Chains A and B, each alone.
Chain A
Amino acid sequence: MILSVRDLKVSFRTHDGPVRAIDGVSFDLEESEILGVVGESGSGKTVSLLAVMGLITDPNATIEGSIRYKGRELVGLSRRELRRLRGNEIAMIFQDPMTALTPVYTIGWQIAEQIRAHRGVSKAKAMARVEQLLAEVNFPNPHEAMSRYPHQLSGGMRQRAVIAMALSCDPALLVADEPTTALDVTVQAGILDLVRKLRAKHKSAVVFITHDMGVVSELADRVMVMYAGRVVERGTRTELFSDPRHPYTRALLGSIPPLTGQKPRRLPAIPGSPPSLLRLPQGCAFGPRCPVRYEPCETGKPGLGSDAHAAACFRVAQA
């Protein structure tokens, strides 16, 4: 087991009162497994992974629950100890590669810096490794790319450089937060291909956050669907896409226009919009938008249960 998260809760103190961004998220991740986390903005997918990375340093935040990496508890670990893990054993890729790259140094220098910081090898050795990494992420001319500055690269190339950086220390866990959202589909296809290959080669476990159901269905082994800070459904890719159970998952899948076949005259849309975390409904957070809500949904918050393929819904539990 690479990662085991139990009952993770993150809340923030704000001017408008406390906000619970994550409300009881639990999941496990095995070696060389890809977990897809799907959700809309505000669903808590990013915050939960920031918590795992120990990147929530806001003094107004409270983190409860347990995050175990290879059996070691991360919640409450000192910043120093966390820093030794991050970038080394746990690596991350974000949506905008420019947030991870500094504009004033060359790509080669930036990746080498990380290798030297964690591995303490000589500069020449680090540089040799960088060239090898850039080749691995399909830079056509890795040696030349090392002396380039971020602004001289295209968006897709920058994201590849960030991936090379993330892989520089052979991480056991790779967290990718919408890494392809800002990219064109043609470039995205290449990056997804890369993630698959790297997983096979490095045996890294991957948490892949996205809002795109198509991406998840192509990449993930297991899927977790989040809504308003809670996991509403989890299962293997096949379970989730061939037998979606939660009304939100079903509605979301139904509202995607098809790429082939007959065009529907109208798309089955979900009414309303995702709730504000400041004003969550009393019962089930999806209740007000749910086509099958009934009395219990008004008051209670449905739990996920312990099944491998589970949906947090009273209707599903009842069926």
Chain B
Amino acid sequence: MTDLDRPILETRSLAKRFSIGTRFSAEGRRTVHAVDNVSLTVRRGETVGLVGESGCGKSTLARCLVRLYDITDGKLLFEGNDITSKSLSELRPLRRRLQMVFQDPSASLNPRRRVGDLVAEPLRIHGKLSSREITARVAKLFELVGLLPDHVMRYPHEFSGGQRQRVGIARAIALNPDLVVLDEPVSALDVSVQAQIVNLLADLQEKLKLTYIFIAHDLSVVRQVSTRIAVMYLGSIVEEGPAEEVFATPAHPYSQALISAVPVVETTPTGARKRIILTGDVPSPLKPPSGCRFHPRCPIAVDRCRSERPELKEHRPGRKVACHFPTLT
């Protein structure tokens, strides 16, 4: 196996559960099954897009992947090494290589510090660079993300949303990471600015050989940036495959409904797109339904779906579906 084929990140039956309430609260202590039995392989240089409705666990999974959350169950491997239960100090050298970009750049940037300082911070903490080298590196990073050199002296509030997200990205790539987890990086931006950031991320990936895990609720943006897609529902992956294929021929009834619900600009409404409207809401992860977790909302559910939970099965190379009756073409 060459270095390129080796997965950079791998999860095996990963689960994250949260306890809520106390034994004195009305319902007692309860467990939220936020992420449940996720096995995902991320290869070097690819972009894996995570999609699903809010509350499906995509952000929780992302945070588990960079060990911002402790993992309840299962395994997390980085370049083949088990990092599931590494201590914080053991993780520290790895942090440099695993970075994250958040949705709201104004919430993740300290308003009282100059952006040059903010970008230099990871270099000071992790690097062994002299202050002159740090200044040079910050200038280089600003150039990479499309900010002007004299911007280093500004404060976050002096920037537009798009520019602030560029600062967030500069911070994330400062230490030459291998893997960047992007949690809704363009959702808070104006529509006319989103495309700039999407392009910037693509450029950086090419230049710096980055691997991305990309989360967004805007499905057309996810399709644009991702090589592979994992569709999540109630904490588990229900479908996985090459981005364009999953969007063109979704096999899981949930993916079908999700993709059909995206409003698209049609110059002449042809009515060619059939919309599947899901009834009901996403069930609570406090008490997930029996059998297939999607069955209460599934238009094609039968008795078997109520009792037997379908596994995520590989139906052909690279194409996995967790459904008893997948639509495979």
Contacts and interface: CB of A to CB of B under 8 A. Distances in A.
Asked if A pairs with B, the answer is yes
Contacts of A253: 265
Interface string B187-229: 0001111111011001000000000000001011101100000
Given A189-B275, A217-B263, A263 B224 contact: yes
A273 B220 CA distance: 21
B311 interface: no
A238 B267 contact: yes
A185 B192 contact: no
Given A189-B275, A214-B264, A273-B162, A257 B196 contact: no
A188 B190 contact: no
A296 to B, nearest CB: 23
Contacts of A60: none
Contacts of A260: 247-248
A85 B268 CA distance: 37
B262 A259 contact: yes
Contact of A40 (B191, B199, B219, B279): B191
B328 interface: no
A305 interface: no
A184 B217 contact: yes
Contacts of A157: 281
Given A255-B194, A255-B195, A273-B190, A241 B267 contact: yes
Given A193-B277, A213-B265, A273-B160, A259 B219 contact: yes
Contacts of B54: 155, 184
A188 B263 contact: yes
Contacts of B257: 186
A40 B192 contact: yes
Nearest to A275: B160
Contacts of B278: 186, 190
A238 to B, nearest CB: 7
B258 interface: yes
Interface residues of A, number: 48
Contact of B220 (A189, A258, A270): A258
B224 A257 contact: yes
Interface in B251-279: 257-269, 275, 277-279
B267 A242 contact: yes
Given A189-B275, A260-B247, A273-B163, A267 B198 contact: yes
A259 B220 contact: yes
Interface string A250-280: 0111011111100111111111011000000
Nearest to A193: B277
Interface in A165-196: 184-190, 192-193
B280 interface: yes
B265 A251 contact: no
A190 B277 contact: yes
B223 A252 contact: no
Contact of A256 (B247, B265, B269, B281): B265
A20 to B, nearest CB: 20
Contacts of B275: 189
A217 B265 contact: yes
A315 interface: no
A252 B261 contact: no
A241 B265 contact: yes
A159 to B, nearest CB: 12
Contact of B196 (A40, A269, A274): A269
Interface string A224-263: 0000000000000010011000001001110111111001
Given A140-B280, A257-B221, A259-B247, A273 B193 contact: yes
A304 to B, nearest CB: 20
Given A185-B219, A255-B194, A273-B160, 15 more contacts: A185-B262, A186-B257, A187-B53, A188-B261, A189-B261, A189-B275, A212-B263, A238-B268, A242-B268, A252-B191, A256-B220, A256-B265, A259-B223, A265-B202, A273-B161
Of all A-B residue pairs in the complex, the 6 with the closest CB atoms, nearest first, are: A214-B263, A257-B224, A269-B195, A255-B195, A242-B267, A189-B261
15 contacts: A154-B281, A155-B54, A185-B53, A186-B53, A186-B258, A186-B261, A186-B277, A190-B277, A214-B262, A238-B268, A248-B192, A258-B223, A260-B248, A269-B198, A270-B195
